[in-house]
Amino acid sequence: MPESLLEYDLLVAGSGASGLTAAVVAAKHGLKVIVVEKEAVFGGTTALSGGYLWIPNNHLDAAEGIKDSMDAARAYMRHEAGNHYDAERVEAFLEAGPKMVSFMQDKTAVRFEASPLFSDYHPDAPGGTPGGRSILTKPVDAKILGEDIERLRPPRPELTLFGLAIGSGKELWHFYRATQRLESFVYVARRLTKYGFDRLLKGRSQLLTNGNALAARLFRSARDLGVELWLDSPVKALLQDENGAVTGAEVQTPKGSRHIVARHGVVLACGGFPLDIARRQTLYGHRADLDEHWSAASPGNTGDGIRLGETVGGNAVKGYPNAAAWAPTSLVPREDGTKGPFPHFIDRGKPGVIAVTRAGHRFVNESNSYHDFVQGMKHACSSDKPVEAFLIADHKTIRKYGLGHVKPAPLPLGPSIRSGYLIVGETLADLANNAGIEVGEFERTIAKWNADVPTGTDSVFGKGSTAYNRFHGDPKVKPNPCMAPIANGPFYAVRVVPGDIGTFAGLRTDAHARVIDANGRPIPRLYAVGNDMASVLGGNYSGGGITLGPGMTFGYIAALHAAGARS
């Protein structure tokens, strides 16, 4: 066989969680699998993520006493998806999701832990729950990868502490309370000491957390099963036979072009289109140039998989209410003069933090999900002006909780002020003037907020009114864990703009993750998973891990179908 012609059973394009899941499951069922990745590192956006999966009825939360049901999950997904509810795909997801989790736990190196207090993002909606559908990847020692640790995408620097990625869940809880509780202080001191030794001896943390842990665990599982992984190897074209079935792909490698035959099919798992400027300008509904919309996704996610699917008859979904998973994003100045995106997941829920437009108005329940926050911000800003807002806090609040990239005490505020990231004013009027906010309305907004604080009820937007709101608040603050006065200067602001953590408007697929054509017929032996697949939630965001949970589940489904196996 010529060097440029290679044969496998399954070709997977992309090395994020959905692609690696498909590779692992297919290999476990006896297929010869190759994964090709366009970038020089593996892990995709998964490696940059929080490592959560949204999986209703999973056995880990059931063991913690969480009660859930197919009927409740179905009702919630129907509410979330609205007119874009796809019953067949929803049923496939609900049935296979728990099986995927059990498969990974029992037969691979992937391990998860329950998050029983992590609420659905709309817990008061029909079928919503105050906790128990989002599970978190367990941390893992970097030795699981050996020398391959150098090929794993590192965490985004803006989301680390001196390069240390802080684990979601319990570890983050300790870091927030390090100056308030002896137990947390000791935990953080030990963690930082170990990290210091790791940096000195190994050059990076040897405890992998969040999405880095998930990518590492999946890669190790794939490697153990003999899956090949090529880096710097983008797919350039899909190959078809005379009947339209996909038979393989042309892959550009550092050693030249390779023709890969894939007897059982090709899985597109290229991460959607968050860095495809032309497509997002068409679908986002707000200004989406590089300087007006910032994505925290992998820089390689430029829509390759969707375009490949379209070349053989696939169709990207149109009409979703949201084409992406939105996140308010601030821009952190870097030493080289560039800026890095910081998605605001947690800080908005803290007591003493509100958000206002340049007109000085609040526009949303700041404790709602990051996805909902950006929808509110887009609605509040007129179409002829940039979509932007400011997160506001006083000195007491920012020293206790931080704000965006600004860390709480004892870390200093000075570097963030000097860089221009943090806007400061000795009085509210000073802050408004320095940020370009309308002074009078801003002062009235703060006065209204402060008047509501003692009552425990945000009379304007209901901050702190749901289980999800309260999860990110401070339980020590009474009567509302998400409300505290903005009264003690200096006062601070951080500007936020629209951003995303991935896209929803992928290729249309059926319940087996097969790409379907304009007539609803599956294209033989072509699958799309992760963000290359149109979101099963129809462009809405149900809870933490709504990309990784369905992504891995449909990766599992696609692999079983390709292998001719049953779950």
Tens digit of pLDDT for each residue in 429-449? Answer: 999 999 999 999 999 999 999
Report whether 18 contacts 268 (CB < 8 A).
no
pLDDT band at 524 (very low <50, low <70, confident <90, very high): very high
Burial class (CB in 10 A: 0-12, 13-18, 19+), 205: buried
Let me know the angle formed at the C-alpha of 530 by 563 and 540, rounded to the nearest 5 degrees.
135
What's the pLDDT score for residue 567?
A: 65
Share of the chain above pLDDT 90, in %: 86
Average pLDDT over residues 347-358: 97
What share of residues in the chain are helix, strand, coil (percent, to 5)?
35, 20, 45
Q: Structure tokens of 501?
A: 């953590």
* The pLDDT value given to residue 3: 61
Name the H helices within 151-181.
Answer: 170-176
| Phi then psi dihedrals of residue 340, to 5 deg | -115, 140
What single letter denotes the amino acid at residue 472? H
- Tell me, what's the pLDDT at 291? 82
pLDDT in tens, 403-424: 999 999 999 999 999 999 999 9
Each residue's pLDDT tens digit, 3-51: 678 999 999 999 999 999 999 999 999 999 999 999 999 999 999 999 9
In this structure, the number of other CB atoms found within 10 A of the CB of residue 436 comes to 12
319 has pLDDT over 90: yes
Query: How does strand 33-36 pair with strand 5-13?
Result: parallel
Work out the angle between the directed axes of helices 548-563 and 87-107 (0-180°, nearest 10). 90
Specify whether the CB–CB gap between 4 and 259 falls below 8 A.
Answer: yes
d(CA 244, CA 242): 6
Does the pLDDT of residue 489 top 90, yes or no?
A: yes
Residue tagged 């997904």 (tokens): 77
For residues 246-268, average pLDDT = 97
Mean pLDDT of 62-66: 93
Residue 339, pLDDT above cutoff 60: yes
Using a pLDDT cut of 70, give the percent of the chain over it: 99
* Whether residue 184 has pLDDT greater than 80: no
Which is more confident, 188 or 275?
275
Query: What domains does the chain contain, in order, with CATH numbers?
Result: 1-168+209-323+504-567 (3.50.50.60), 325-500 (3.90.700.10)
Alpha-helix runs per DSSP H in 165-235:
170-176, 182-202, 210-224
pLDDT at 307: 98
The whole-angstrom separation of Cα 113 and Cα 110 is 11
Confidence of residue 2 (pLDDT cuts 50, 70, 90): low
Over 90: is that where the pLDDT of 539 sits?
yes
Query: Quick one: tokens of 89?
Result: 């795909």
pLDDT of 288 > 80? The answer is yes
Band the pLDDT of 180: cuts 50, 70, 90. Answer: confident
Residue 169 has pLDDT above 80, yes or no: no
Tell me the per-residue pLDDT of 90-135, one tens digit each, with 9 for 90 and over.
999 999 999 999 999 999 999 999 999 899 999 999 999 999 999 9
Categorize the per-residue pLDDT at 177 as very low, low, confident or very high, splitting at 50, 70 and 90: confident
Q: What is the pLDDT of residues 187-222, one digit of tens each?
A: 878 888 888 888 888 888 889 999 999 999 999 999
